[in-house]
Amino acid sequence: MIRPRRLLLLAALLGTLVAAAPALASERNPTLQELEGEVMCPTCNSLLELSHSPVSDRIRAFILERIEAGDTKSEIKDALVAEFGTRVLAAPPTEGANVIVWVLPLVGALVAIVVIGLLLRRWSRSRPVGQRPLAAGDGVALDPELDRRLEDELRRFDS
Amino acid sequence: MTSSGDAQVTAGDADDPALEPGGEPGRGRTVAYVAVVALIGVLIGLLAWQLSSRDRGNAIPGEIAKGDRPETPDFTLPRLDGQGTLQLSSLRGKAVVVNFWASWCVPCRDEAPLLQQAWETYRDRGLVIVGVDSEDLTSDARAFVQRYGLTFPNVRDGEGSVKGRFGLVGYPETFFVDPEGRLVSHVPGPVEADTLERGIEAALAG
* B158 → closest Cβ in A57, A84, A107: A84
How far, in Å, CA of B198 to CA of B176, rounded?
10
Q: Is the pLDDT of residue B2 over 80?
A: no
Ramachandran area for residue A137 (φ above 0: left; ψ -120 to 50: alpha; else beta): left
User: What are the chain A neighbours of B10 within 8 Å (beta carbons)?
Assistant: 125-126
B13 CB neighbours in chain A (<8 A) are: 125
Contacts of B36 in chain A (CB under 8 A): 111, 115
Asked if A32 and A65 touch (Cβ cutoff 8 Å), the reply is no
Shortest distance, CA B81 to any CA of chain A (angstroms): 15
User: Regarding predicted confidence, which is higher, B164 or B174?
Assistant: B174
CA distance B160 to B168: 10
Task: Determine the residue of chain B that is closest to A89 in CA distance.
Answer: B159
Identify which of B199, B177, B202 has the alpha carbon closest to the alpha carbon of residue B95: B177
Cβ <8 Å between A84 and B18: no
Which of A55, A62, A115 is nearest residue B102 as measured by Cβ atoms?
A55
Look at the alpha carbons of B178, B183, B187, B188 in this order and tell me if their dihedral is positive or negative: positive
**In chain A, whose CA is at the least distance from the CA of B25?**
A122
Tell whether B158 lies on the interface with A, counting CB pairs under 8 A: yes
- List A residues 123-142 in contact with B (Cβ-Cβ < 8 A): 125-126, 128
**Residue A87: its chain B contacts at CB < 8 A?**
159
Query: Measured at the alpha carbon of residue B138, what is the angle toward residues B136 and B141, in degrees to the nearest 5?
Result: 70
> What pLDDT digit, counting tens, does each position of B180-199 carry?
999 999 999 999 999 999 99
Reported ipTM: the value is 0.71
pLDDT value of residue B44: 85
CB distance A118–B29 less than 8 Å?
yes
B53 in Cβ contact with B166 (< 8 Å): no
pLDDT tens, residue by residue, B31-43:
877 887 888 888 8
**Nearest in space to A60 (alpha carbons), one of A78, A35, A38:** A35
Contacts of A126 in chain B (CB under 8 A): 5, 8-10
pLDDT tens for B51-109 read 666 556 678 888 998 888 999 999 999 999 999 999 999 999 999 999 999 999 999 99
Instruction: Please give, rounded to a whole number of angstroms, the shortest distance from the CA of A85 to a CA of chain B.
Output: 5
B17 touches chain A (CB under 8 A): no
A107 CB near a chain B CB, below 8 Å?
A: yes
Cβ contact (<8 Å) for A83 and B137? yes
Closest CA to B112 of B94, B126, B133, B82: B133
CB contact under 8 A, A84 and B159: yes
Inter-chain touch A111–B12, beta carbons under 8 Å:
no
DSSP B170: S
Least confident of A50-54, A76-80, A152-156, B48-52: B48-52
Cα of B202 to nearest chain A Cα, Å: 31
Provide the pLDDT for residue A1. 60
Q: How far apart are CA A21 and CA B192, in angstroms?
A: 57
Q: Among the listed ranges A10-14, B81-85, B168-172, which one has the minimum average pLDDT value?
A: A10-14
Residue A52's pLDDT band (cuts 50, 70, 90)? very high
pTM of the model: 0.67
A114 interaction partners in chain B (CB closer than 8 Å): 32
- Kindly tell me if the per-residue pLDDT of B9 is higher than 60: no
